[in-house]
Amino acid sequence: MDDLYHEELLEAARDPHHKGEMLDADVTSPPEVNSCGDSCRVFVRLTADKKHITAMKWQGTGCVISTASLSLLSDHLQGEQVAEVVTWDEHTLLSWLGLKTFSTARKKCLLLGLNTVQKVLEKV
């Protein structure tokens, strides 16, 4: 538990990056709701050839884990290739957090943002 709530994660949740609506997004997800009640919506802007992500914003309510995960995701997505992002998984997120293992019960929280982003990118 003490590993789980390390400072980096708490900081990311306290001051989440890129939270808010993006009116000129190229792709927008419908509200995605986890069975635990956590929810998010993502907005992604792409390059003209739709191969790279230039920016992401998000809205949502959730726990520290899902909030921090969305915040980190919004940082890491900038400039990434779409083809690369669709291959990301929980290990990608854990590497950003410097963690090797993660509570099974909280994986859904961790993956909420990434799953939502990947879903909208599949349709690009």
Partner 1 sequence: MFNPLTIRQDFPIFTHNPQGDKLVYLDSAATSQKPQVVLDAITQYYQTTNANVHRGVHQLSDRSTQVWDESRATIAKFFDAHSDELIVTRNTTEAINGVAYGWGDHNLQAGDIILTSLMEHHSNIVCWQELAKRTGASVEYIGLTKDGRLDRTSLSAKLSLPKVKLLALSHVSNTLGTLNPIAEIIAEAHTLQSGIRVLVDAAQSAPHLPVSFAKLDADFLVFSGHKMLGPMGIGGVFVRSALLQSNEVRPWLFGGGMIAAVTTKGTTFTDEASERFTAGTPDVASAVGLAAACEYLSKLHMSDVGQHDLDLVLYALDKLSAVPQLTIIGPQDFSETEVDRVGSVAFTYNGVHAHDVAQVLDSVGVAVRSGHHCTMPLHEQFGWTASVRASFNVYNTTADIDALVAGLAKVRQVFNV
17 burial (CB, 10 Å; 0-12 / 13-18 / 19+) is middle
Name which position in 22, 36, 94, 99 contacts partner 1 (CB under 8 A): 36
Window of 46-54, 61-69, 73-81, 92-100 that interacts with partner 1 by CB under 8 A: 61-69
Reported residue count of the chain is 124
CA angle 18, 23, 28 (to 5 degrees): 80
Q: Which is nearer to partner 1, 5 or 81 (CB)?
A: 5
Name which position in 19, 45, 106, 107 contacts partner 1 (CB under 8 A): 106
What are the tokens at 99? 């963690």
User: Should residue 6 be labelled a site residue for partner 1 when binding is judged by CB under 8 A?
Assistant: no
| Residue 31 CA, distance from chain mean position | 13
Note the residues at the interface with partner 1 (CB under 8 A): 1-2, 4-5, 10, 36-38, 61-65, 103, 106, 109
